[in-house]
Structures are given as C-alpha cells and as structure tokens.
Chains A and B, each alone.
Chain A
Amino acid sequence: MKKNSKNNFSRRKLMKSVAAAGTVAVMPGFVNYSQASSSAPIRIGFQVHRTGIGAAYGRWYDRTTQAAVKIINDSGGINGRPVEIISEDDGTDPKRGAEALEKFANQHNCDVAFGTLFSHVVIGSAPRAGELKLPYFVVSEGHHVASGMLNRYTLQPGITDVKSQVQAMAPFVKDNLGKKVTMVYPDFAFGHDHRDYFSAAFEARGGEIIAKVPIPPTESSFSKYFPKIPRDTEVLYHVMVGPAVLTFVKELGEFYGSKGPKLFGFIDSVEAVDLNTPGLEFLDGSYFWEGNPRYAQDNQTDHDQFYRSAVGVDKNGASVSDPKDVSTYAHMFGCWETLHIIKKGMEESGYSNVKDRSKLIEAVESMKNMPLSQAHPQGAKIFNGKTHQTFGHQYITKMTNGKLVLAHTTSIEDTFYPDEVDYTKQSF
C-alpha cells in the first residue's frame, strides 16, 4: 500500500527538496521563476488589421491571439508573469502601422510587438521597430524578412514565407497536374513574388509557364482577363487577395463552367470564403495550397484538435458560433505559434524587462527545431536564426464534395532556399 506522502515527509527530504529547487532555480530558463520579483504582466503589442483590406484576416488573427494568450496564462504565463495583449489597429496601412509600434514602445511600455499580415504594413513598420529597439515578431508570409530588407529586431518564426511556399508547390503541380501552366495573379508585389518564384521553380523542373496574366489591384471585375488564358493551358495557377476574391472565383467559374484546365490555387483566393457558396461548385476537383488545412482531416493530430477547439473553429474551419463565419485557417496559426515562440524565447533568455530585449532576440535566433506540438499545431518547423525565417510543411488539398481533403504534404526540405542575409551579424 502506498504511503501518504504527507506522513512520509522527513527533514532529510525537505533539505533535498530545497537543494533541488535551488539547483533548478539557477538553471537557464528557470532563472526568472525565482527572480520574478514582479508579477507585472508581460505586455505584447498586437498590431492588428481591424480596418482596411486586411480586416477579415485581422478578425481571426485577433481571435487566435486571444486564445493563445489564454492558454499561456492558464499554464502559468511567461516566467510566472501573466501576458497582456495591447491591441492597436494598423488600418492595414504602413504609416499607421509604424505609429502603432511607436505607441507600443513609448506609451504602453510593451516588451515586444507582434502580429500583422500584409507585407506593406510590415515593411513600413520594421524600420521603426529597429529604431525603437523593439522586437517585432511578424506573421506576414512575406519574403521581406528573409530577403534581408529589414533588420535584426524583425523576426518571422511562426509562419513560412511566400518564396518557400511557392517553390514547394512546383514539383506537385508538374508531376500531378500538367506541364503547361498559366498564372493569374494580382499585379502587385505579393503577386509578383508568386510569378517570379513559382516560374523559376517550375521551369527548373522542366515545366513551362505559357502565359502570365496580371490583374490590376483596383480591379473589381475579372471576366475580361480570362480570354487571355491560352487554350492549351493544362493548369491554371491562380492567387488573389482582397475583398474581390469571391467575385474573382465566381467569374472564373462562369467562364469555364465544368470544362477548362485543371485548377491550382493558393487558398488566399478563397480564404475566409464559404466554399459552399452558390457558384463555387466548379471548384470541385481543384487543388489548393493551404498553410494549414481548413477542414479537419482524417489524420487530424491531437494538437490541431486542441488548437481548433481553443480558437473556436469547427471541423469545417468556421466559427463554432456561426458556420458562415469562415476562418483564415491557412494563416492564423502563425499567431498562435509566434506567441508560443515568444514565451519560449523569454523563458530561455531569462527575460525580465525591456533591457533584456537583445537577449530575447538571441534566444530566438538560437532556436532551430520546433517539433509538432501544442505550441506548433500546424506542424514541425525549422527556424533559421540567420535569416529570421521559419520553414515548415506545406499542404495541398483537393476540393472533394465541397470540402478540402488533404492530397499532399511537402517535406520541410522542399521549402529551403539559400540564405540571403545573416541578421546575426548586425549589431543591436
């Protein structure tokens, strides 16, 4: 029979426990639990697209952030301190974004800033983050971080970038869908990244881009662009963002009906859009890139189940309280994972106040393997501390009976490309 531990607690055991606790207290990562003289919250400035073109993403980035913070706080916070989110609308505007960072650093005394998706907001804000010496964790997908354009204070550890995503799609498209591709993309930097990186990767594998159809960003009707797609197109690669995405896919359906080339699209074209919307039936059988599969798959991990439930997303990728409120599931996991990385970085660096910001950055830079876990429900990742960019699995799903079913998962290695910068050589 097991003895009651309370009765068995001798003086010798008490001494051992005190010694053990003391040893643990001086180990890296635990220092601040013992040093946490203050229970003041860790303040994280959350730059969020509440208004402007990115509002649909912002709403779900916000929900994911709140859910992640609740989980972190329920499990003891960071270094024993609760996490507090200070939100500020950036209006999906770079000037306003930079002002938000200024507010975080100088008015709210935030420890770090994080959030935001649209590249121009990140690029407009990052110089200010560097000047303010404010660690700025972005969840943007843009290649701007790894390209070397930004600075040591800007990191993207929670979501892969467009360059790695796009090049990882090329083998699947070439081997499974066809060799002659026409690309339809928005005629601005995000679309140009798709055009340039996919073309290069696809042609390197022996495929051919037979036409490129850029669509001006101010366009609200797309029918006139579809006749530019050559008849011998085997695969139509499409990507579109912004409020007109639904019009784009509907008009694409009206143009082709049930005929036409095979479709491969980035989920951005239908992100936050209900796929059972009338007029989208033609998408059945088409393929999509997804950063994280919107529909719960047959092989769903416990981690995805936990994450999905915590954020309040049902198995179809919509809000549990409103099935018509479809999430931005392919992207928003980045907020969850980034917050967990900030927690880990702060704990490993013994972060206690803003003077430790450079230690936090060094701790994150030294991270490498991020295994599939509750902190990383999208999948395992490899972080490159030199380029401040993470690399991870990409998912290709096939629209089957109104649902996106997983067809292929890339390896992490498929997403690698040579380093273009070494931020660790920049001084703080």
Chain B
Amino acid sequence: MRKNIILHLSALATLFLFEMLGIFSEYHQGNFARILVLAAYGVGYNILFGYTGLLSLGHALFFSAGLYASGLSIYHLDYNIEQSLLLAICISALISLIIGFLALRTIGVSFMIVTLMFSQIAYLSILYFGSITRGDEGFVIQQSSRVFLSMDLSNPTIRYYSALLIFSLCMLTNLWIAKSPFGRVLVAIRENSERALMLGYNVKLYKLFSIIISGTISGLAGASYGILFGYVGASFAAVSYSIFPLLWVLIGGAGTVLGPLIGAIFMFYLIDYASDITDAYMIIVGVALLFVTLFARRGILGELRYRFYKWIA
C-alpha cells in the first residue's frame, strides 16, 4: 500500500510541479487541463469496467447528466458554481441509481445494449427538449458565471489547478476503493461473480454501488468540463463519448488507478501529433491503437504491472 501511495502521490505532485515551475507551455497547459478532466471521467468508467467487470456502452449518459445539470442550472436558474456542482453530483448519483437498478436486471451483452439504449434516450431527449437545452447547438456558460470562491475559472492557471484538483479527488477515491475490502469484492465479482455470490456477497448490491460511484464521478467530470471550458452541448452525450473512456481505460490499463490518465494523455497527443502529419490522421490513430492492442493487451500500465510491478493498484 505504501508503494502505491508514493506512486500515486508522486504522479499528482509531478502534475502540480509541472504547472508551478512553468514547465508546461501555454498550449500544453490548456491540453492537460482538458486531459485531467477527461481522465477523471475515465476513472469513473474504470471503476465499473476495470474493477467490477461491467462493460457499459452508455457512460456518456452520466457525463452529460453532470454537464447538463450544472450547465442548465447556471444558464436558466443563475446558480453559482458551488450550487451547480452540488446539484450535478446529486443528479448524477440519482440517475446512476435508477439506471443501475434497471440495467442490472441484465448481464453481459444485454447490459451493454441496455446502457447504450439509455444513453441514446438521454441524447435524443437533449435534442427533443431543444427549447431548454438548445439542442445540438448547445449553449455557452459565460465567463462571468464561471467564478468559484472569487476565482475566475477561465484563467488558464486556475483552470489547470481546478482540473488537477478534480482529477486528484477522483483518482484518490479510486485508489482508496481499490485497496479497500469493498474494492476487493468488486474485483472478486469481476473475476468470478458466481463464486462471489457463493461466498455470501450480495453481488447485485455491490454492482449497484459500483454503478452509482462510477456514474457520480463521471457526472462530476461532466459538470467540471462545462464549468471549466464554458460550453454545454449534445455532442458530449453522443455514443462516441461512451466509447472514449473505454479506449482510455483499455489503452492505459483496465483496473489500474493511473490507467485512465495514461490512456487519455496517449489518445489526446496521438490525435494531436498525427493531425500535424496528415489530414488522414485517423489512419495513424487506428494503426497505433492496433499496435497497442497487439503488443500491450493489458494496456500500458496493465502490461507493466503484469511483467514487472505486481504491486501497482
């Protein structure tokens, strides 16, 4: 445990020092702020997929639930950031509870399809209630509304530290879960749910808790994204935003705490650099992903854990 605490706190300290010492250029500072919030979303996804073994294809629902709960409350009700964040967390948790309750009546492929369908319902509802949500166009959260405890969240430095704080909270929660008895039960369910049931664990209840934690973290990430970057739009509820966290987790390493961060950094800069080389950058991205899948089946950190560092959480 001690090694894990040192590793993960070192990662956070590195991200903190990079900003404090001005190592990031302005461009990479902005990119990393975005990556950290998206990685927090990946952390949420990882709890359900990487630790519990439930493959959801509808997590954009939870991300957009937080995004819209905070965004709409600011846009229509003049909520401040604190109130909107609190509302987003509550709404995300409630939606996770409801979706979890319904989706857990299924398993395997059916679970994937049911989560995908719920996510599509949410996406189409955003479009349908366009008079409230501004549909596909979305809406802007004005700079004047993005102030938290007298701090302007559109300021690049404050935004970076805010994103780092959000990510740190989510990551440390994940680390705590991974090392707790609760987390061990989740892993047991992932490895063999029938055996966990035979051992007397209420598997369904554990899965439900996992969905609630996963969905709430995803919702918090969604709310943070809208508040820090000033835009709320339906594209974040589309199916592609359910696939992205799956990719980040698979690339970084499913069931590793730092995996989503590594995956998000890898994907972001792969697209960024590939688009500088050619207009057909998605071909490069596809080939690179193919290589990672072939030669690091457990993801980057997952492969390191498997080969060298068994202690990594």
Contact = CB atoms under 8 A, between A and B. Distances in A.
Contacts of A192: 130-131, 135
Contacts of A51: 282
B30 interface: yes
Contacts of B25: 106-107
Nearest to B127: A188
Given A187-B128, A217-B127, A94 B279 contact: no
A217 B136 contact: yes
A95 B137 CA distance: 12
Contact of B140 (A88, A149, A188): A149
B227 to A, nearest CB: 11
A103 interface: yes
Interface residue SS majority, chain B: helix
Given A103-B27, A127-B230, A127-B231, A189 B130 contact: yes
B136 A188 contact: yes
Interface in A42-96: 50-51, 87-89, 93-95
A119 B137 contact: yes
Given A187-B127, A188-B130, A217-B127, A127 B140 contact: yes
Given A94-B233, A103-B27, A107-B27, A189 B34 contact: no
Interface string B17-42: 00000000111001100100000000
A128 B139 contact: no
Interface in A94-145: 94-95, 98-99, 102-103, 106-107, 119-120, 123-124, 126-128, 130-131, 142, 144
Interface string A242-284: 0000000000000000000000000000000000000000000
B236 interface: yes
A102 B30 contact: yes
Given A102-B27, A106-B25, A192-B135, A120 B130 contact: no
A124 B233 CA distance: 7
Interface string B144-179: 000000000010100000000000000000000000
A323 interface: no
B134 interface: yes
A120 B127 contact: no
Contacts of A93: 235
A163 to B, nearest CB: 13
Contact of B137 (A89, A98, A189): A189
B143 interface: yes
A218 interface: yes
Contacts of A87: 279
A192 B231 CA distance: 20
A99 B27 contact: no
A370 interface: no
27 contacts: A51-B282, A89-B279, A93-B235, A94-B138, A95-B236, A98-B229, A99-B34, A102-B31, A106-B27, A107-B25, A119-B137, A120-B234, A120-B235, A123-B137, A123-B140, A124-B138, A127-B231, A128-B230, A131-B143, A131-B154, A131-B156, A149-B139, A187-B127, A188-B234, A189-B136, A192-B130, A216-B127
Interface of B: 25-27, 30-31, 34, 124, 127-128, 130-131, 134-141, 143, 154, 156, 229-231, 233-236, 272, 275, 279, 281-282
